[in-house]
Amino acid sequence: MASIELVKLTKKFGSLVAVKEFDLEIKDKEFVALLGPSGCGKTTTMNMIAGIEAPSGGQILFDGRDVKAMAPNKRDVGFVFQNYAIFTHMTVEQNLAFGLRVRGVKRAESDRRVKEMAALMRLEDRLDWLTAKLSVNEMQKVAIGRSAITEPAIFLLDEPLSNLDAAFRAFMRTELKHLQHQFQQTMVYVTHDQIEAMSLADRIAVMDLGVLQQYGSPIEVYNQPCNTFVANFMGSPSMNLVPCRLSEGNGATSLDFDDAGVVVVDDDDLLRRCKGAREAGLLFGARPEDLDIAPPEYGGAGLAMTVSFVEPIGPRTIIHLSAGDRKVKVSKEKQYPIEFGAKVKVALPKGKCHLFDADSGRALGVE
């Protein structure tokens, strides 16, 4: 059993506040990703959970117990870093067995667990190799296996895949999921890669400048970003954020997109978001895959725009459109026949539009 609770966790380095009053609850056996750009405080948070770094304020609770006074080796925490921490003068087998030997695990049991981990990590045919002779990918597999084999209650992984090549990263994502399924550990995973966070985590904590921005399931965070930072950070291409003005008249609510035209809002969900919003300083938001391309004469809610660039990337076509300084990307499945310079309407989807305050970045009309 190992739930983790961070209460107003803070870390200062001199005048720099690296982590600010961070509240987070991680359930037993949950897989949580700390996601954010470089320097947002992810590693500092991990180091405090592991006991490597002392907090400047706040609490860290494991199963409700404050662990502040507990030494790192007493916390039952496994740690894997971006740069594989392994003994290069030892074989793969000796590396995998190391933690078990230190803990006094009997030889027969240790051999059984090493074999099991080697099979899980697909390292069976490398057991007698010196780790110095392994590829970078294999070294990181050894580092992960070496830490996981002692079955710590909490497993912390700090960008473990970021030095690996793309194909191997995809493979390792599946392996890590298997590992968690098998050992039922509470996992905290640091990454700046939103795809990795989305594909692995039960919940994602999005951080920026040491502050928690949003905490929720991948789909919640993707579909209902609480601010423009999260909207931008999740998704590739990221959410379209288009400046607009709100106007009310003749019983209708409209959004004025300047050169892209005035759109009468006929979507209850978007109307709810418009309620109480100020007139200017708004950003309309929509995911590229939620928008549609319609002919210029389309009569529904849509932006009048011109195709400025087409990216046929295989499984999808990314269509760039503009009208004056209003810019939008639309993502269509597979190959989509459209020409540079074509005049179209970008049709707005019902129930999938967002509205943000441009100054604060806050999403409007959501709790």
- Footprint on this chain of ligand ATP (rule: CB under 6 A): 13, 16, 18, 36, 38-44, 192
Smallest separation (angstroms) from ligand ATP to the CB of 115: 35
Contacts of 354 (CB under 8 A, 6+ apart): 225, 231, 239, 273, 284, 285, 286, 363
Distance between CA atoms of 25 and 5, rounded to whole angstroms? 5
Smallest separation (angstroms) from ligand ATP to the CB of 40: 4
Distance between CA atoms of 267 and 12, rounded to whole angstroms? 46
b/e per residue, 38-64, with b = 16+ CB within 10 A?
eebbbbbbbbbbbbebebeebebebee
DSSP strand pairing (262-264 vs 282-286): unpaired
Q: Which is nearer to ligand ATP, 205 or 239 (CB)?
A: 205
Q: Which is nearer to ligand ATP, 81 or 336 (CB)?
A: 81
Smallest separation (angstroms) from ligand ATP to the CB of 235: 20
Smallest separation (angstroms) from ligand ATP to the CB of 108: 41
Distance between CA atoms of 89 and 82, rounded to whole angstroms? 20
Q: Which is nearer to ligand ATP, 40 or 304 (CB)?
A: 40
Smallest separation (angstroms) from ligand ATP to the CB of 159: 7
Smallest separation (angstroms) from ligand ATP to the CB of 192: 5
DSSP state of 349: P
Amino acid making up residue 219? I
Helix ranges, the chain (H): 42-50, 92-102, 107-120, 136-148, 166-183, 194-200, 218-223, 228-233, 268-274
Q: Which is nearer to ligand ATP, 43 or 186 (CB)?
A: 43
Q: Which is nearer to ligand ATP, 138 or 158 (CB)?
A: 158
Q: Which is nearer to ligand ATP, 42 or 113 (CB)?
A: 42
